[in-house]
Structure 1
Amino acid sequence: MSSHRFLLNYSRLTFLCSLLCGVLVFSIQPAQASERVALVIGNADYSFAPLTSPINDARDMTRALQSLGFEVIHKENASQQTMEEAILAFTQKLGKDTVGLFYYSGHGAQHKEENYLIPTSVTRLSVSDVKYKSVAAGYVLAEMEGAANTTNIIILDACRNNPFKSGFKSMQKGLARMGNIDGSLIAYATSPGEVANDGRGRNSPYTKYLLKYIHQQGLPIEQMFKQVRLAVKRETNGVQTPWEFSSLTRDFYFAGKTPIREQNRSCTLKFGDSLYQGQCQNGIPHGYGKMKYSDGQFYKGDFSNGLRHGRGTHYFPDGFKMSGFWVNGILTYQRK
């Protein structure tokens, strides 16, 4: 191997390690105005109708929420007991000035207008098993209401490819609309009474676009879900329409209120042998710009507080590139 090729490979390996380990060049973390706590559950290993994407959905949502300042409780293929214990641990962390978020990916069903989240411990798909061995979504909402926190967000990527046979006449298709509590937003992967797509890729269509838009600065939560809805409708040719019901009384932005492209002061900065040209704030990269490194690598895209943050592409001298959505210096969603 030539010394030139060795250096390129070594540089690429070093860069990839920095992404995985979170070793960042400029370490300035924005302070959160309030506490953020989330419970993320992904159930896929059902004996009656296995699913393909919920585990990936839950893991990717956990990483995304952690990068946005959430403390996350994460559970996979959870039993009824595990789900109920996790809900209790989650709601005990809520309180005044706290944003609470519950995300569920897996099978769900409604019976007499009550929604149920189905644990993987349910081995026989019957009305009694769903009613008495599952977790009522209303229980989650009630526990969050009892915590008296300021903002509640419930995201249900459930009702995947309805597993119920035609004989279960009392089991309605899809999920029912849930009653809201003040200061809450309840988001469904599809409209009430309809079935959501499990998808053929790494994620379900709904979670795929949640992961894309949740990192976009300047989007209020209502507008973020609107972007998700439009994208899912396009991908599914109008078959699946995500839905939300909101009684939020405060503005909420997952990734911050001000789009970083609005910072328009241009500057040239030097960091050792690296050169930055683009928008800046308080003497650090902030906005759109280009960072050139001494070994021939360069990054072109959005920065925030000195870190790659937003849309951007990192280029290597041999033509290899990593392009997608960055959060605090880490690539979290890669464009295909």
Structure 2
Amino acid sequence: MAAKSIPGATSVSRRRLALVIGIDDYENHPILKNPKNDAEKLSSLLQRIGFIIDTSSLVKTYAEIKRKILDFELSIELNDVVLFYFAGHGVQWEDQNYLMPKDFPQFPETNEADLEEIAGILEKGVLKKEMADMLKADILKKKIAGILKMKAINAQDILNTLSDRKPYVTIFLLDCCREYVLRNPDLNTRGPSSNTRNSKSAGLAAMHKAGALVAFACAPGTYVDDRPKDKNSLFMEHLIKHIETPNEDIVNILRDVIDGVMEDSNDTQIPFLSVQLRHKNIYLCEQAQVQPKVEAPISENNQSCMFGQDTQILWKFSGIGKPRVAWFFNDQPLPTNDRLQVTETDDGTSILTIRQAKLADEGVYKAKAINAFGEAEAQTALKIDCIKPVINTNLDTVLQVTKCEILTLKVIASGTPKPHVVWMRDDNELIPNDRIQVTTPTGSDDQYTLTILNVQPEDQGEYSVMISNVGGSLQSDKCKAIVSKSPMFIIKPTTQKVKQGETAVFMTTIDGYPTPTITWLLNGKLLTLKEDVEVQFDAATGQSKLSIQNVNLEQHAGSITCRVKSEYGEQEETVRLDILVAPTIIEDLPIQQEIVSGRDIALKVVGKGSPRPSAQ
């Protein structure tokens, strides 16, 4: 609603008084949720637009409310603007509206004495049997009327007394049309009579008073439910939207409220409005044409926030009503989301909340308040602070790792924002791949890990890690990784059988790092390289070959031992070299030999060969 200029005769110099009551915690009737919230919100808004507030969040009982109303009435002076608001339970009875205090008792029921009285009347024949229920209802009505007069507050009496003080205007607002609390089967059996048309009605009865404006949250004779899921009632929700509109007639404000309530309720709730005013242009929020201004000594400031932390930027603005505030970041409209949120308080403070600040949030934030008469702006330069990385647990100086196993290096480093790391070997950056893996921390963890699978000799070297963020950088200590492996046979040599004069070949494959030395022995003695002995070794493949040419039974037959040795251990394997030699006769049979008949004879032949020959 646009702000309007103030016509000639206004109430700029008039006092504005308000008594606001909200009761929710009833002792004997249904507890409500909205009234207390509604009263507190209305009090805050009225105070902000210049009303002298007599709030009564602690005033709830019959005696307390009566005392408060009397004090309020006595405070009214001639030509004051007076506003009375009540939220809670209310009821109409015999065309009169009653406001129910917290300690209002339960409504009575017919007791045994009443029933005996009715029975006695019936016995005397004064009434017929069918009239008993109506008589019972009349007895109840008298009891209820008595309790209401003694324990509830008559709304019309309040309105009359306030008006008798000769205020400039009386604004009388009731939001107490909750579910009808006088429902009773005994009462409902009796229909409307000629002089009592409200014996079964709900809600409130219409109220009127010369010089006053009266509004109910819903139409006479109807009621609305409390809204336990919402903070405020539907009527108050729309009153909040319009009550601070500057220089707007109260009648127009309430008509806007009525339109909003009807629209939101699909016409099931229609507020009541009675206007019997003697004056026009009754403004609740009356202000001169003033553009917004920043409520701070200076409209620029600097602010810092630690990276990853939450922070708030807030500016308070004043002006006509509540100026609309728009936020900008580096002169561009600021988009809001789950991380960037804007909220406003009742006193005109606009708050920008930044959650988990990022480096990209650094810049200039501007809040611009706008109303019909101009604008005001304030800005904050936000700096995102960082913490230079710190190494909490450094690398080990030396690390021994076995070839073909896994190498793991760990460093614990903190900083804000979390540092970025680069792993290096011999001052050369390591590029991650399937074998070289880098793990960075998540959450509150600060551990950075380098893992190298299937370690090879080329992985040996000095490792370090460069740690950096926008706050600075540093390098870890160097860790010398030593790759080693005890000597071992991958393929063992095997026994060879070779014909004499040919070449004997023994093959083996070994592993170990550093590369082991390999020696061959014949019958426990070191084989030296001669013309007939050759040893070959391929360090890349670990293959070794022993060749003995022109093998000789007497010289070469026996055990062959392959021995591998390094600073990390020693192993050996022994096999046989069998030299095959064809049999030869050294001493043959005699050409002729005499024998005696009947005696044994022995013939001797001496031969040699490898393996040992057999005679046939």
Same fold (TM over 0.5): yes
1:248 aligns with 2:277: yes
- Gaps of at least 5 residues in structure 1 are 1-30, 275-292, 332-336
Separation in 2, partners of 1:214, 1:310 = 14
Q: Equivalences for 1:161-180 in 2 at 5 Å?
A: 161-167=179-185, 168-169=187-188, 170=199, 172-180=201-209
Select 1:227's aligned residue among 247, 252, 256. 256
Structure showing greater radius of gyration is 2
| 1:175 counterpart SS class | coil
Q: Secondary structure at the match of 2:56?
A: strand
Partner of 1:50: 31
**RMSD between superposed Cα atoms in Å:** 3.0
**Alignment partner, residue 320 of structure 1:** 341
CA–CA distance in structure 1, aligned partners of residues 225 and 46 of structure 2: 23
Aligned pairs for 1:1-336 within 5 A: 32-46=12-26, 47-76=28-57, 78-126=60-108, 127-128=144-145, 129-167=147-185, 168-169=187-188, 170=199, 172-181=201-210, 183-199=211-227, 200-250=229-279, 251-256=281-286, 272=298, 274=300, 294-295=302-303, 297=313, 304=319, 309-313=322-326, 319-323=340-344, 329-330=348-349
Which runs of 4 or more aligned residues in structure 1 lie more than 3 Å from their structure 2 counterparts after TM superposition?
A: 257-260, 270-273, 293-300, 313-318
Report Cα offsets for 1:134-176 as digits up to 9, x if no partner.
0000111111122111111000001212233243442521111
Structure 1 residues 310 and 272: CA distance shift in structure 2, 3 A: closer
Whole-angstrom CA distance in 2 between matches of 1:273 and 1:136? 52
Larger proportion of helix? 1
Which runs of 5 or more residues in structure 2 are unaligned?
A: 1-10, 109-143, 189-198, 305-312, 351-616
Structure 1: which amino acid aligns with 2:29? F
Structure richer in strand, relative to its length: 2
What is the CA distance between 1:88 and its match in structure 2?
0.7
Q: Is the 8 A contact 1:219 1:257 kept in 2?
A: no
CA distance in 2, matches of 1:314, 1:130: 54
Matched residue SS, 1:92: helix
Separation (CA, whole Å) in 2 of partners of 1:108 and 1:273 = 50
Aligned in 2, Cα 1:188/1:299: closer, same or farther, shift over 3 Å? same
Q: Report the AA paired with residue 151 of structure 2.
A: K
Amino acid in the other structure paired with 1:205: L
CA offsets 1:82-118 (integer angstroms, 9 cap, x no match) = 1111111111111112111100000111111101001
Q: Is the 8 A contact 1:154 1:187 kept in 2?
A: yes
Letter in 1 for 2:92: Q
Percentage identity across paired residues of the two chains: 26
Report the secondary structure of 2:263's partner residue: helix
* Residues 95 and 195 of structure 1: CA distance in aligned 2, closer, same or farther (over 3 Å): same
**Residue 32 (structure 1) shift:** 4.4
Q: Secondary structure at the match of 1:40?
A: strand
1:272-306, Cα deviation, whole Å (9 max, x unpaired):
452xxxxxxxxxxxxxxxxxx54495769x8517x
Which structure has more RCO (C-alpha within 8 Å, separation ≥ 6)? 1
The CA distance in 1 between the partners of 2:302 and 2:297, in whole Å, is 10
Structure 1 residue 245: Cα displacement: 0.5
Query: Could you say if the C-alpha distance between residues 273 and 69 of structure 1 is closer, same or farther in structure 2, counting changes exceeding 3 Å?
Result: closer
Does the CA contact (< 8 Å) of 2:247 and 2:283 recur in 1?
Answer: yes
Q: CA deviation at 1:312?
A: 2.8
In structure 2, the residue corresponding to 1:172 is in which secondary structure? Answer: coil
TM-score (norm 1): 0.72
TM-score (norm 2): 0.41
- Report how many residues are paired: 271
8 Å Cα contact 1:109-1:159 kept in structure 2: yes
Letter in 2 for 1:116: Y
User: Structure 1 49/254 Cα, relative in aligned 2: closer, same or farther at 3 Å?
Assistant: same
Give the Cα separation in 1 of the matches to 2:176 and 2:165. 25
Cα pair 2:23 2:88 within 8 Å, conserved: yes
